[in-house]
Amino acid sequence: KAMCSGKLQTALLVAGYFVYLLVGAAVFQALERTAEKQEKMAAAQMKEAFLQNFTQLTVAEMEQFMKNMIEAIQNGVYPVGNESQFEESNWDFSNSFFFAGTVVSTIGYGTLHPKTAGGQIFCVFFALFGIPLNIVFLHRVGKMLSLLCKKLGKFLYEKGMRKKKIKFLTLLFFLATGILVFLCLPSVFFQITEGWSYSEGIYFAFITLSTIGFGDYVVGKQSDRKYFSYYRVLVAIWILFGLAWIALLFNL
């Protein structure tokens, strides 16, 4: 009964956690998408005006244009290429889910952030409840994975191995497996998808899973590359389970 109850609690926690992220993603998308569209239109108009009159601009007007462009880029608007790029939103569902995941995991790259008053206030409350929920989720998943450690340890003990050696081998096994699954293999994937070098992929994976999150490398942000649908959702799920693996290492 206790085992069934524990499994049910875990299933409800995992389901509740992902529902929380999905609802958060939907709200961020609803609050931010319209404002972003207006900002992109303003950037497009500013670019068009510049191209028509750039030979007649004064130094002061040129500097103002550059300031406006820098501000637009800081807000996630990249006024390069044709107008079709302005139709692609930074706040589609995939990006919104990715953002929600980086908020509750406290990575906070800083490349995507809410700019409306409603989005910023919602982000405060979303993080306020989401961060503790994330800690509970990681702890529970880490606990589940530690049961696998116990089973492995029991198997080795029955084979006549000493306890100290079992502890060392168990830690080594999960450390090596985690490095392979959460660092080495994803880095190959990022190398292919993002066009980074393998070392850049390793660097991004480590900076992300350690929750340092500089924001110098972020997935799905290159305007000259085509990404498949829900690419960033998959990356967000990789982050969550990668953090669970790190929680397991701390438990061990």
Instruction: Give yes or no: residues 56 and 104 share one domain.
Output: no
Instruction: Give yes or no: residues 150 and 211 share one domain.
Output: yes
Sign of the Cα pseudo-torsion (124, 127, 129, 131, in order): negative
Q: Is residue 136 part of a domain?
A: yes
pLDDT tens track for 19-53: 999 999 999 999 999 888 888 888 878 888 877 87
pLDDT surpassing 60 at residue 84: no
Which residue has better confidence, 220 or 6? 220
Residue 1 banded pLDDT, cuts 50, 70, 90: low
Q: Is residue 74 part of a domain?
A: no
Task: Tell me whether residue 147 is exposed, middle or buried, using C-beta atoms within 10 angstroms of its C-beta: 0 to 12, 13 to 18, 19 or more.
Answer: exposed
Alpha-carbon gap, residue 83 to 88, rounded angstroms = 10
Overall number of domains in the chain? 2
pLDDT tens track for 175-201: 899 999 999 999 999 999 999 999 999
* Per-chain mean pLDDT for the chain: 86
pLDDT surpassing 70 at residue 245: yes
Instruction: Give yes or no: residues 122 and 3 share one domain.
Output: no
Instruction: Give yes or no: residues 178 and 247 share one domain.
Output: yes
The CA-based angle 221-133-234, given to 5 degrees, is 30
Which residue has better confidence, 230 or 78? 230
Domain extent for 138: 89-251
Instruction: Give yes or no: residues 176 and 55 share one domain.
Output: no
Residue 74 banded pLDDT, cuts 50, 70, 90: confident
Instruction: Give yes or no: residues 136 and 198 share one domain.
Output: yes
Phi, psi of 54 (to 5 degrees): -65, -25
Alpha-carbon gap, residue 205 to 203, rounded angstroms = 6
